[in-house]
Amino acid sequence: MKTKMLFMLINMNIGGTEKALLNRIAEIPEHKYDITILMLEKYGGFLNAIPDHVNVEYVHEYSEIKGMVTNPPRRTIWNLIKKGRLIRAITFSLIYGLSRILKNKSIFLKYILRNIADIKNEYDVAIAYAGPMDLISYFVIHKISAEKKLQWIHFDVTKVGFDLPFAKRLYPEFDRIYTVSNEGKDLLVHILPELQSNIDSCPNKISSELILQMADEGAGFNDEFDGIRILTIGRLSKEKGQDLVIPVLAKLKEKGYKVRWYCVGEGNSRSAYEFLIKKYHVEREFILLGAHPNPYPFLKQCDIYVQPSRHEGFCITLGEAKVFGKPIITTNFTGAHEQIVHQKNGLITNIDEEEIYNSVEYLISNEEKRKRFEENLIIETQKILVVKESI
């Protein structure tokens, strides 16, 4: 009999968490596991990438409560008043206020989820995969029946909005809590020492064979540029750090280097970055490519990969760049040292514009170092593939 496993997340937006889930599913034996993905909403560029053998379910009622979850409370209250729902507005205000006073978000989550029925099916394992997303954590514990329940943490809990009082109340109900890096585990244990024995790390999976195959299925760069192509992949947002590298490119251009910087990804900082691109006069050199479900042709064709993030949990694109043997520069976020060995298969720099510039200039002008990194990464990837084939 197959093990029934459920993963719950927000949607299948093009992002690291969603990509990590697809990679993990690709490594799970289909003949041993019956897999279900439960999403809050039917949305995202990765929806069509879900394998056919995976069951897909949605919390259809989420559309009715989404505003309460994502909007500031004052806006929700005002919207209810405008709709003539005065009693509901007062009730919402009281419940939200009580949860804040008692520092118990579960009171608020129980209220907004009160009209959503429990999931009918029973599972062997249910995983709150979009962690830390408090509503999903609460949903898995209180709305899903499973023999084992797991919490997955994909982010640096010291850098994102992590509700520690909520975690202290709810996380003991999970059978196991996983972070995606050893450094991330240490950070979580530091703030939740009472759960130390229940916290472990489980790095995100990289499906080398799949992404190598997908790299040959897309077109990649369509310009005729013959200089150094630098690539960055990630959501256009402050935590991903693209704003740090726009002035870096401007300085490289000023120094006479023939280089273009391409960014794959979309996000709410696009307009701010477009302003910076114009400010630094790099409209022709800094290219925003938008979101791509298949970014691997770009990875295969670029010359240098740069990850300028301010914080990560486990940066999956670093692992993917390694598969293609690309010289890598990464900022020193959580988990970076678990993927990159400084001066052996890449460069790790502080989260600083000047230091990023120095690292990029060093690699551009040092072809021998780039080749050395490429050779070491190719050897590393080949070893991984040989091990997989032997299993």
- Domain limit, last residue, from 145, 180, 201: 201
pLDDT tens per residue, range 208-231: 888 888 899 888 998 989 999 999
109 within some domain: no
Please report whether residue 68 resides in a domain: no
Give 177's contacts (C-beta < 8 A, 6+ positions apart): 150, 151, 153, 171, 188, 195, 198, 199, 200
Check residue 92 and give its pLDDT. 94
Q: Where are the alpha helices (DSSP H) in the chain?
A: 16-27, 62-70, 73-82, 86-101, 105-112, 134-143, 164-170, 182-191, 208-215, 242-254, 270-279, 296-301, 316-323, 353-364, 367-390
Q: Where residue 391 falls among pLDDT bands split at 50, 70, 90?
A: very low
Residue 199: pLDDT band by 50, 70, 90 thresholds? Answer: very high
pLDDT class of 383 with cuts at 50, 70, 90: low
List b or e across 289-316, with b for residues whose CB sees 16 or more CB atoms inside 10 angstroms.
Answer: bebbbbbbbbbbbbbbbbbbbbbbbbbb
Are residues 248 and 322 both part of a single domain? yes
Query: Domain end: 182, 201, 220, which one?
Result: 201
The residue range of the domain holding 46 is 3-59+116-201
**Same domain flag for 184 and 229:** no
Per-residue confidence (pLDDT) for residue 155, from 0 to 100: 87
Does some domain include residue 287?
yes
Q: Are residues 224 and 362 in the same domain?
A: yes
pLDDT digits (tens, 9 = 90+) for 34-88: 999 999 999 998 999 999 999 999 999 999 999 999 999 999 999 999 999 999 9
Are 356 and 244 part of one and the same domain?
A: yes
pLDDT digits (tens, 9 = 90+) for 108-153: 999 999 999 999 999 999 999 987 899 999 999 999 999 999 999 9
Top pLDDT among 204 and 186 is at 186
Q: Are 213 and 154 within one domain?
A: no
Q: What percent of the chain has pLDDT over 90?
A: 81
Q: Residue 390: its pLDDT value, please? A: 43
143, 238: one domain: no
Contact status, residue 321 vs residue 295, Cβ threshold 8 Å: no
149 burial (CB, 10 Å; 0-12 / 13-18 / 19+) is buried
User: How confident is the model at residue 207, as a pLDDT?
Assistant: 78
Helices 367-390, 353-364: axis angle to 10 degrees equals: 90
* 3 pLDDT tier (thresholds 50, 70, 90): very high
How many residues make up the chain in this entry?
A: 391
In this structure, are 310 and 383 located in the same domain?
A: yes
The answer on 306 and 344 residing in a single domain is: yes
Sign of the CA dihedral running 347, 350, 353, 355: negative
Picking from 301, 161, 306, 299, the residue whose alpha carbon sits closest to that of residue 240 is 306
CATH number at residue 299: 3.40.50.2000
Question: Of 201, 227, 244, which residue is a domain's last?
Answer: 201
* 293 and 14 Cβ atoms separated by less than 8 Å: yes
Predicted TM-score (pTM) of the model is: 0.85
The answer to whether residue 91 is domain-embedded is no
118's CB contacts (< 8 A; 6+ apart) are: 143, 144, 145
For position 354, what pLDDT does the model report?
96
Verify that 221 and 196 share a domain, yes or no.
no
Whole-angstrom distance, CA of residue 268 vs CA of residue 252: 27
pLDDT at 117: 92
Q: How many domains, the chain?
A: 2
Asked whether the predicted pLDDT for residue 387 surpasses 60, the reply is: no
H, E, C per residue of 136-163: HHHHHHHHCEEEEEEEEECCCCCCCCCC
Check whether 255 has a pLDDT greater than 50.
yes
pLDDT the model gives residue 110: 96
Instruction: Give pLDDT tens digits for 79-96.
Output: 999 999 999 999 999 999
Specify if 110 maps to a domain: no
* Residues 124 and 148 placed together within one structural domain of the fold: yes
92: in domain: no
- Provide CB contacts within 8 A for 150, sequence distance 6+: 125, 126, 127, 128, 174, 175, 176, 177, 178
Looking at the structure, tell me whether residues 308 and 161 fall in a common domain. Answer: no
**Which segment of 1-5, 58-62, 211-215, 339-343 scores lowest on mean pLDDT?**
211-215
The predicted-structure confidence for 273-323, as pLDDT tens digits, reads as follows: 999 999 999 999 999 999 998 999 999 999 999 999 998 888 889 989 999
Confidence at 385, pLDDT banded by 50, 70, 90: low
Q: Which residue did the predictor score with more confidence, 122 or 383?
A: 122
pLDDT confidence of 384, banded at 50, 70, 90? low
One domain, residues 137 and 235: no
Domain contains 147 = yes
Residue 75 lies in a domain: no
